[in-house]
């Protein structure tokens, strides 16, 4: 009943300015039915389909905010002449997560981003400005060739010299190759992958730091691309991997639409006030301050939804979810092993990658493809998120077994 009321309220709000009959509701309803039916089989990409924002949107419509244009432009930590924002909630989101990533309260600055890529863009841009404050030489960007493709695109966008470092068989940066590629005469901007896109590999930060100490670049900035793993690792026994107090990084980007389960892309970027102080000084008088973000106008709704989720879930809820997805990923790997089916899972990972099945399995389960000749060629992966419980794993593995039988019959 509550979902029907929510839909009715939103429909009424959207339909107010239009004449009856202008919206093809049959088409929209068919589309919605298809999306809702398909989400249970979406196991090849890292989207948590347990969104659960019906109560939020019901409140949003009833409160009147659905008819207000809000904008989180400016520095959320500073007063703004534009009162129509959700900065207070945005700051509370950052304050909730900052200590989980090892940032001290008095040193922290951050904001709610549009996505993990937005966070990475800020990590690279802030890193360049930070390094230029220590050296007049433009830095070199170092990143694994199996890290998220956004890093390569953003390095190109920002006009940086870039060194793509080969990855080992598990998808981690080859630290020996990294050390060989390091140019000690130039500042080093190192992007550390905390969960590579396909294999879910984690770069070895200790080994990377050791290589940096041996080669001694003129200055170093470390940014963690922790889009998926940064969501759940703080709530596990492996939290030290994303703890700034134990790992020497300068900024971190995390996606909100992955582990945290939002209905659209958003995320977090967190760094230090020292890094912020070394950014561009361009002041905007009508906003009472410089605008430190690359994005000027920013979503006020995204920050409000993030705050809502944090309040509803809490640290205990996130711990339970993190433990469950890792447990289910281990079970999925065990099921592959029991069949003698080639499959792999990295340390601390909710990603299981395996020999690519037939196309009908790929399409039914929305599996993502990749290739690695070192592992036999064509691969696929299953990223176990909150909506993939044991029942879904069982149904998926039945299709894998059926596919094995069909392929054997053809030989």
128-148 mean pLDDT? 96
**Angle (nearest 5°) at CA 66 between 61 and 71:** 145
Q: Which residues contact 95 (CB under 8 A, 6 or more apart)?
A: 105, 108
Element (H, E) at 209: helix 205-215
Domains held by the chain: number:
2
Tell me whether residue 11 is in a domain: no
pLDDT at 21: 61
The model's pTM is 0.92
Tell me whether residue 3 is in a domain: no
What angle do helix axes 87-97 and 300-339 make, rounded to 10 degrees? 30
Question: What's the per-residue H, E or C state across 313-336?
Answer: HHHHHHHHHHHHHHHHHHHHHHHH
Tell me whether residue 41 is in a domain: no
Read off the pLDDT band of 20 (50, 70, 90): low
CATH of the domain at 403: 3.90.1150.10
Tell me whether residue 270 is in a domain: yes
Q: Is pLDDT above 60 for 197? A: yes
Residue whose tokens read 């036999």: 376
10-24, 138-152, 222-236, 282-296: which has the minimum mean pLDDT?
A: 10-24
Instruction: Examine the domain organization and report whether 152 and 297 are in the same domain.
Output: yes
Token pair belonging to 235? 């709530």
Instruction: Examine the domain organization and report whether 391 and 250 are in the same domain.
Output: no
Q: Could you say which of 284, 311, 338 is where a domain stops?
A: 311
Q: Which domain holds residue 357?
A: 319-410
Give me the sign of the Cα torsion angle 237, 243, 246, 248: positive
Q: Is pLDDT above 80 for 283? A: no
299-355 residue pLDDT tens: 999 999 999 999 999 999 999 999 999 999 999 999 999 999 999 999 999 999 999
Return the SS3 of 381: strand
What percent of the chain stands above pLDDT 70?
A: 93
Instruction: Examine the domain organization and report whether 146 and 177 are in the same domain.
Output: yes
Instruction: Examine the domain organization and report whether 223 and 355 are in the same domain.
Output: no
Read off the pLDDT band of 152 (50, 70, 90): very high
pLDDT at 41: 95
Instruction: Examine the domain organization and report whether 198 and 217 are in the same domain.
Output: yes
Read off the pLDDT band of 15 (50, 70, 90): very low
């Amino acid at each position: 009943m509550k979902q029907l009321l929510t839909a009715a309220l939103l429909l009424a709000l959207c339909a107010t300015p239009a004449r009856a009959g202008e919206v093809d509701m049959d088409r929209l309803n068919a589309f919605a039915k298809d999306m809702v039916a398909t989400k249970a089989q979406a196991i090849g990409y890292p989207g948590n389909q347990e969104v659960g924002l019906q109560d939020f949107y019901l409140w949003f419509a009833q409160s009147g905010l659905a008819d207000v244009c809000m904008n989180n432009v400016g520095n959320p930590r500073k007063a703004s002449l534009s009162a129509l924002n959700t900065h207070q909630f945005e700051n509370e989101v950052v304050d909730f997560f900052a200590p989980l990533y090892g940032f001290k309260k008095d040193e922290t600055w951050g904001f709610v981003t549009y996505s993990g890529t937005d966070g990475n863009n800020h990590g690279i841009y802030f890193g360049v400005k930070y390094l230029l404050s220590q050296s007049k030489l433009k830095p070199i960007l170092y990143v694994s060739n199996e890290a998220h493709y956004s890093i390569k695109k953003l390095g190109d966008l920002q006009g940086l010299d870039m060194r793509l470092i080969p990855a080992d068989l598990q998808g981690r940066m080859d630290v020996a190759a990294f050390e060989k590629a390091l140019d000690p005469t130039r500042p080093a901007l190192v992007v550390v992958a905390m969960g590579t896109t396909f294999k879910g590999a984690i770069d070895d930060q200790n080994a990377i730091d050791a290589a940096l100490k041996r080669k001694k670049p003129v200055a170093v900035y470390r940014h963690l691309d922790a889009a998926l793993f940064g969501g759940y690792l703080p709530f596990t026994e492996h939290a030290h991997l994303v703890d700034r107090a134990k790992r020497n990084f300068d900024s971190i980007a995390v996606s909100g639409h992955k582990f945290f389960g939002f209905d659209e892309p958003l995320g977090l970027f967190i760094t230090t006030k020292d890094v912020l102080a070394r950014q561009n000084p361009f002041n905007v008088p009508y906003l009472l301050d410089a605008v430190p973000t690359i994005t000027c106008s920013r979503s006020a709704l995204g920050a409000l939804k993030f705050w809502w989720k944090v309040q509803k879930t809490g640290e205990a809820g996130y711990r339970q979810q993190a433990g469950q997805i890792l447990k289910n990923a281990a079970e999925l790997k065990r099921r592959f092993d029991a069949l003698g089916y080639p499959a792999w899972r990295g340390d601390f990972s909710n990603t299981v990658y395996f020999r690519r099945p037939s196309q009908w399995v790929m399409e039914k389960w929305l599996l993502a493809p990749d290739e690695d000749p070192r592992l036999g060629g064509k691969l696929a992966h299953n990223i176990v998120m909150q909506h993939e419980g044991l029942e879904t794993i069982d149904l998926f593995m039945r299709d894998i077994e059926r596919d094995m039988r069909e392929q054997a019959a053809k030989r």
